[in-house]
Structure 1
Amino acid sequence: MLIIIRQVKITDSSAIQQINYTQLGYNYPLAKTQTNLQHLLADCQHHLLLVAEETHTEKILGYVHVELYQETYFDPMFNIMALAVDQGQGIGTQLMLAIEAEAKKLGISTIRLNSNTKRTGAHQFYRKIGYSYDKTQKRFSKQV
C-alpha cells in the first residue's frame, strides 16, 4: 500500500469526523466538524493539519493536527492537538515524522502533546518514536 502525506482539505471533513468517532470516541456532528475545519485551515499561521492518504483508493487513513504554541516563558513549539489513525501499518509514525520535518524547517525544536491516562497504547507508541513523559497535570474546565 502506497501512502502520501498531504495537507488537509475541507473535503476531508467526513473522513476526519469518522476517524474522530471510531478511534478517539468523539461523536461530534459532521456539520460542526466542517465549520471547525474551515476555521483551522484559514489560520495556517497557527494550525497545520496533515492526512495520510492511500494513493490507490484515496482513502484517508489518519490525520494529525498541530498548533503553533507560543508563550512568554519558552521558545515556540508545536503542540499536537490530535493524532488519529484508522489502521496501523506505520501511519501514525509517518504523520509524526512529517510534523517533525515541518518543525525543523521552521526552526522549532520542541513538539509536545497530551494523552489521556487511559490511552496506554498511545503512550507506548509515543515512547517508541522517541517522546518522553515529563509532566503530570490535571485539566480543569468550566462551561460558561
Structure 2
Amino acid sequence: MLRVLQETDVNAICEINKEALGYSFSPEDTASQLAKLSQDSHHFLLGYEDAANHVLLGYAHAEVYESLYSKAGFNILALAVLPQAQGQGIGKSLLKGLDQEAKRRGYGFIRLNSADHRLGAHAFYEKVGYTCDKVQKRFIRIF
C-alpha cells in the first residue's frame, strides 16, 4: 500500500538505497534529510509498504521542477524498490501515486533522469508510459 514516508522508515530507506541504487548514506544523515524534506512542500516522499507485514519495500522521491521555460512539474529524484520485491508492480504503483499527486497539484509533467547503463530501468519507464526525449551528460562540482 502507498503511504507517506515516516521517521521510522530510515533503516529501510538505507537498505533500499544500498540494495536497489548502490548508495551508502548513513542512517543519521538519512534521518536528517528525511526530517528536513518531509517539511518542505517542494518535496514529495511516497513509500510502498507490504500490507501484511508492514515492511517498506520501495519509495519514490520527487521535487517540484520549475523553470522559466516550462510549466511546473515533478522531477523524480529517486524511485527504488528492493531487488527481491521487483516485478510485483511496486514501482508502477509508486509512479501512479506520483501521477495522482502531480495532477492534484495541477502540474503538467513528471520527468526523471536515469543512468545510461540502467537498461532494465529504461525498459520499465517506457513500459509504464515514459518517453526518452534526450540524452545528456551530468556535470557536478563537489565541495
TM-score range, shorter chain: over 0.9
Deviation at 1:10?
Answer: 1.2
1:74 equivalent in alignment to 2:73 = no
Consecutive unaligned residues of structure 1, counting only runs of 5 or more, are: none
Deviation at 1:105?
Answer: 1.2
Q: Distance in 2 between matches of 1:35 and 1:107?
A: 29
Partner of 1:11: 8
Q: Distance in 2 between matches of 1:22 and 1:71?
A: 33
Q: Distance in 1 between matches of 2:65 and 2:7?
A: 23
Percent identity, please: 44
What are the within-5 Å matches in structure 2 for residues 1-144 of structure 1?
4-43=1-40, 45-86=41-82, 87-88=85-86, 89-144=88-143
Q: Distance in 2 between matches of 1:57 and 1:5?
A: 14
Deviations 1:91-116 (A, max 9, x none): 00000001101111111120000000
Displacement over 3 Å in runs of 4+? none
Q: CA RMSD in A?
A: 0.8
Look up the SS of the partner of 2:141 in the other structure: coil
Deviation at 1:31?
Answer: 0.8
TM-score (norm 2): 0.95
Deviation at 1:13?
Answer: 0.9
Q: Distance in 2 between matches of 1:107 and 1:143?
A: 34
Deviations 1:10-65 (A, max 9, x none): 1111101110001100011111111111111011x100001000111000010000
Consecutive unaligned residues of structure 2, counting only runs of 5 or more, are: none
